Amino acid sequence: MWIRLRRSLNGFYNRVDPLIVRCIGHKRLYTFHSPGVAECIPAIPTDYRLTVQECVTLWTRHFQLRGVSEPRLSSQYIIAHLLGVKTLESLGQDRLAEFLTHKQMEQTWKLCTRRLTRMPVQYVIEEWDFRDLTLKMSPPVFIPRPETEELVGLMLADLQVKQGTGVSEEANLRCLEVGCGTGAISLSLLNSLPQLRAIALDKNKDAVELTVENAHSLGLQDRLEVHHMDVIRDADMIVRMCSPVSVLVSNPPYLFSEDMASLDPEVHKFEDHDALDGGVDGMQVIRHILTLAPQLLSNNGRVYLEVDPRHPPFIQLWAEGGERGLRYVHTHHDFTGRPRFCVLENDNATYIKTRTSI
Amino acid sequence: MAFTQAVKMSLLCGRFKKYSYQMWSSVMSQRNYRTVLCGRRRYPSPKICQKSRAMHATQPLMITKLLTVDEIFARKPLQDYLKKIETEYSDSLKVINSTEGQQDSNEEFRIKRTRVSVLDPLIEYIKELKIKEQEFAETETLLKDDDPDMCQLAVIEREACQKAIQDIRQKILSQLIPEEESDMSDLVLEVTAGIGGQEAMLFTAEVFDMYQRFAAHQGWAFDILEYMKSELGGLRHASASISGNESYKRMKFEAGVHRVQRVPKTEKQGRMHTSTMTVVVLPQPTEITFTINSKDLRIETKRASGAGGQHVNTTDSAVRIVHLPTGVVSECQQERSQLKNKEKAMKMLRAKLYNIRLEEETCKRYTERKVQIGTKGRSEKIRTYNFPQDRITDHRIGKTVHEVREFLLGEELLEEMNTALREFSNQETLMDILGENY
């Protein structure tokens, strides 16, 4: 079937059956094979230009053909990023009908081709938003999830209540984050609380470097220390260097090892497995953090954890097991209604006991 | 079919060559009307089209004119009302002073006390006015004096007195008009395309732009919450949050149905079309004035399905909030951060719910008013934008402004229209209070 490719690609897509067709453009040849074998990438049109809207539609269609998840959103975010805005909605009407320059089209093709390999959009455009901040993202550092935004909100609410009651030690607020990744939690807290000082740890060198980079671009590097340490192996050094802190927060790897195989390609192929795998029961790293917490926290200091919905009962049981040094305060639910956040508080009596027993 | 098209073309162009006698006579028999029926459509009559800027008499819903301050004061009802207020004040004062020690009628006592404190400034102004009027009368006697210097002094004093009297009268009037609870709040503006298909959507986009410029002109913050585009560059539905000084007080007069009459861009044959779009203005309450119980809300996000958390990485951060008791829905997908989308959606939801409550209250209060400016809700046809005749008419006050292009820039002309509406509304409130029927 020979079909003449018209100038308007919208018209093209309305007529063409995406099975075996051969289309002749003015000087270009587009070949789409039957679904499942769509190996080729559409070549950049050289003799005519596409408008922004046409480009988005073209790539949405192509992502759909190749089975890429969230095809429309992916192409919208990538092209919006190239045009210098966050979302396509914020572009005015006139800009959507504007033609892309050849350079912009080349960049679009380059980024969208990366997306075809199932690379997450955040890695493709190398940035994403977290609460009020825009952070740089780069593989394989773990991409912050929307649930973690709620964790920060929860902490801010608690800290602000504490300040309201005028607890004197809070003039020197210190916060420790285990497994900082891109630095999302620490930087968000620093941004909202001017008097906070934060320490961030991660066992992945890339994550440490990325956190430092993000801190610099947000101007928060003065109040943040980032260290390349492993909470399991370097436990003693951490206690020596960092204690006491008023708040300990973590979004530790909490996936069960058996679930790792069923992850989406976006997560499985590109994100650091060490930031995801929490052992057989998902609680390996969590246990280490909780064991260390009483030695790190000051009086009435709190631990905030993001966990798998199956974990809170176990953690509560563990904390109430006796002589742990921590008291279980509350389980908070995320906006989907799943029990997601555990809050524990330093129990002074047992804290002193464990200190003297060392 | 081609024949009918030709007749329609001719009607608009004014060249009556390509038609049959039958068609022409049917048109010309209707020539005394402003619009004629040709086929199934209504077109402006050929006679009207031939004249530029034809005389148009819009029928205002109320036959009234804007009275000046002096005119209002000259009328008896206001004087009676002021006297009534004075007596009420002196009575309440007597009651308070006499029952100082008594705790019997606690409720009444408190009411009288608050009433006195509310009326205090007004009574002050009335006293000042009386003093000034006395001075004015004295200057009259001075004028009759022989001494030229004294005369000159008297003239100057007279002018100063007059100005002061004007000021005080204005202040009294503004004191009499009660402050609405929602006047001090910010607002959420919603525009929706109405009848007319693509043309209506294009017009909606233009009006939304106009309000964006108006907000910038007034120095307000304009934050787009939602923007649903159409294929041809029009706008189906959009909402924005506007915050600034007196934003709700001014923008509430823009609510209603706006009608446009022009030859659309999508029209191939040059026929004139009438399309509509609706503007809804929702006051945005503060936390204190209006609270929503989070148990009544159902928040829907993409992450609710599946495992969520570290298992999944999605970029779909759209949030949809449903208020279960009333069924009101608001959604947002403007931002990349889910938390920000949730905040915006909550903002819109609060505005919608507050507006529902407000509408119920104002309905009860203002059923007496003749022209309920800003209170009739979304079905009120308020303005017509006529492009060929280059005029914009507001039907509530019968005011016409020319230069449509200038108007759509959202600057001085829109402000002029807005101020006129506000003055009428104030006057209306005043008449209502005085128990007048004008």
Q: What one-letter code names the amino acid at A16?
A: V
Give the gap in angstroms from C-alpha A53 to the nearest C-alpha of chain B.
10
Q: Bigger pLDDT: B359 or A314? A: A314
pLDDT at B8: 57
Task: Check whether B7 has a pLDDT greater than 70.
Answer: no
Burial class of residue B359 (count of CB atoms within 10 Å of its CB; 0-12, 13-18, 19+): middle
- What length does chain B have? 438
Give the gap in angstroms from C-alpha B185 to the nearest C-alpha of chain A.
25
pLDDT band for position B216 (cuts 50, 70, 90): very high
pLDDT tens, position by position, A97-149: 888 888 889 999 999 999 999 999 999 999 999 999 999 999 899 999 999 99
* DSSP β-ladder status, A133-136 and A127-130: antiparallel
The residues pairing with A250 across neighbouring beta strands, listed in sequence order, are A178, A305
Task: Check whether A214 has a pLDDT greater than 50.
Answer: yes
The span from the CA of A319 to the CA of A347, in Å, is 10
pLDDT at A39: 59
Decide if A224 contacts A182 (C-beta within 8 A). no
Omega of the bond leading into A45 within 30 degrees of 0 (cis): no
CA atoms within 13 A on the CB side of A207: 28
pLDDT tens, position by position, A259-311: 999 998 889 999 999 999 999 999 999 999 999 998 888 888 899 999 999 99
Task: Check whether A9 has a pLDDT greater than 70.
Answer: no
Highest mean pLDDT among A267-271, B1-5, B41-45, B78-82: A267-271
Tokens of B119: 């009326």
Phi-psi region of A36 (alpha: psi -120 to 50; beta: other; left: phi over 0): left
Q: What one-letter code names the amino acid at B433?
A: I
In CATH, the number for domain B46-284+366-438 is 3.30.70.1660
Query: In this complex, do A93 and B227 lie within 8 Å of one another by their Cβ atoms?
Result: no
pLDDT at B411: 87
The residues pairing with A198 across neighbouring beta strands, listed in sequence order, are A175, A224
Q: Bigger pLDDT: B9 or A75? A: A75
Q: Bigger pLDDT: A335 or A94? A: A335
Among A319-333, B138-152, B208-222, B239-253, which is the least confidently predicted range?
B138-152
Tokens of A46: 């050289």
Task: Check whether B63 has a pLDDT greater than 80.
Answer: no
Helix or strand holding residue A216 (H, E): helix A205-218
pLDDT at B103: 55
pLDDT tens, position by position, B358-373: 777 767 655 544 444 5
CA atoms within 13 A on the CB side of B217: 17
Q: Which residues of A touch B316 (CB under 8 A)?
A: 70, 73
Cα-based distances in Å from A298 to A123, A162, A173, A303, B430: 38, 14, 10, 11, 65
The span from the CA of B157 to the CA of B160, in Å, is 5
Decide if A205 contacts A169 (C-beta within 8 A). no
Task: Check whether B318 has a pLDDT greater than 50.
Answer: yes
Task: Check whether B301 has a pLDDT greater than 50.
Answer: yes
The span from the CA of A355 to the CA of A206, in Å, is 34
In CATH, the number for domain A130-346 is 3.40.50.150
**Nearest-CB residue to B337 (from A96, A131, A338):** A131
Query: In this complex, do B309 and A309 lie within 8 Å of one another by their Cβ atoms?
Result: yes
3-state secondary structure A139-180: CCCCCCCHHHHHHHHHHHHHHHHHHHCCCHHHHHCEEEEECC
Cα-based distances in Å from B420 to B174, B391, B396, B415, B416: 16, 16, 11, 9, 6
pLDDT at A121: 94
Query: In this structure, what are the phi and psi dihedrals at residue A349, rounded to the nearest 5 degrees?
Result: -60, -50
Alpha-carbon Rg for chain B, nearest whole angstrom, is 29
User: What is the pLDDT averaged over residues B53-75?
Assistant: 54
The span from the CA of B405 to the CA of B386, in Å, is 11
pLDDT at B115: 81
Decide if B421 contacts B398 (C-beta within 8 A). no
Decide if B377 contacts B384 (C-beta within 8 A). no
Q: Which residues of A touch B320 (CB under 8 A)?
A: none
- B208, B235, B313: which to substitute to probe chain A, counting the most A Cβ within 10 Å? B313
User: What is the pLDDT averaged over residues A8-14?
Assistant: 48
Give the gap in angstroms from C-alpha A85 to the nearest C-alpha of chain B.
11
* DSSP β-ladder status, A297-306 and A245-250: parallel
3-state secondary structure chain B: CHHHHHHHHHHHHCCCCCCCHHHHHHHHCCCCCCEEEECCEEEECHHHHHCCCCCCCCCCCCCCCCCCHHHHHHCHHHHHHHHHHHHHHHHHHHHHHHCCCCCCCHHHHHHHHHHHHHHHHHHHHHHHHHHHHHHHHHHHHHHCCCCHHHHHHHHHHHHHHHHHHHHHHHHHHHHHCCCCHHHHCEEEEEEEECCCHHHHHHHHHHHHHHHHHHHHHHCCEEEEEEEEECCCCCEEEEEEEEECCCHHHHHHHHCEEEEEEECCCCCCCCCCEEEEEEEEEEEECCCCCCCCCHHHEEEEEHHHCCCCHHHCCCCCCCEEEEECCCCEEEEECCCCCHHHHHHHHHHHHHHHHHHHHHHHHHHHHCCCCCCCCCCCCCCCEEEEEECCCCEEEECCCCEEEECHHHHCCCCHHHHHHHHHHHHHHHHHHHHHHHCCCC
Query: In this complex, do A120 and B313 lie within 8 Å of one another by their Cβ atoms?
Result: yes
Cα-based distances in Å from B34 to A145, B44, B185: 64, 6, 44
Residue of B nearest to A95 (CA): B233
Q: Bigger pLDDT: B215 or B104? A: B215
pLDDT at B105: 61
Among A29-33, A339-343, B194-198, which is the least confidently predicted range?
A29-33
Query: In this structure, what are the phi and psi dihedrals at residue A140, rounded to the nearest 5 degrees?
Result: -95, 20
Residues of chain B with CATH 3.30.70.1660: 46-284+366-438
Largest CA distance in chain B: 100
Q: Bigger pLDDT: B26 or A241? A: A241
Query: In this complex, do A96 and B299 lie within 8 Å of one another by their Cβ atoms?
Result: no
pLDDT band for position B341 (cuts 50, 70, 90): very high
Among A151-165, B204-218, B373-387, which is the least confidently predicted range?
B373-387
In whole numbers, what is the pLDDT of chain A averaged over residues?
Answer: 83
Task: Check whether B9 has a pLDDT greater than 60.
Answer: no
In whole numbers, what is the pLDDT of chain B averaged over residues?
Answer: 78
Give the gap in angstroms from C-alpha B310 to the nearest C-alpha of chain A.
7
- B201, B226, B310: which to substitute to probe chain A, counting the most A Cβ within 10 Å? B310
pLDDT at B163: 87
CA atoms within 13 A on the CB side of B271: 17
Query: In this complex, do B313 and A259 lie within 8 Å of one another by their Cβ atoms?
Result: no
The strand ranges marked E within chain A are 2-4, 21-24, 29-32, 127-130, 133-136, 174-178, 197-202, 224-228, 245-250, 297-306, 326-333, 339-346
pLDDT band for position B130 (cuts 50, 70, 90): confident
Q: Which residues of A touch B340 (CB under 8 A)?
A: 129, 131-132
Please state at what angle helix A71-82 crosses helix A52-65, rounded to 10 degrees: 140
pLDDT band for position A224 (cuts 50, 70, 90): very high
Task: Check whether A32 has a pLDDT greater than 70.
Answer: no
Tokens of A260: 């790792």
pLDDT at A347: 79
Residues of chain A with CATH 3.40.50.150: 130-346
The span from the CA of B355 to the CA of B192, in Å, is 17
Q: What is the pTM of this model?
A: 0.64
pLDDT band for position A210 (cuts 50, 70, 90): very high
Task: Check whether B280 has a pLDDT greater than 80.
Answer: yes
Tokens of B206: 């233009």
pLDDT tens, position by position, A38-85: 456 777 777 788 888 889 999 999 999 999 989 999 999 999 999 988
**Nearest-CB residue to A70 (from B205, B301, B315):** B315
Q: Which residues of B touch A149 (CB under 8 A)?
A: 337-339
Please state at what angle helix B76-98 crosses helix B412-434, rounded to 10 degrees: 60
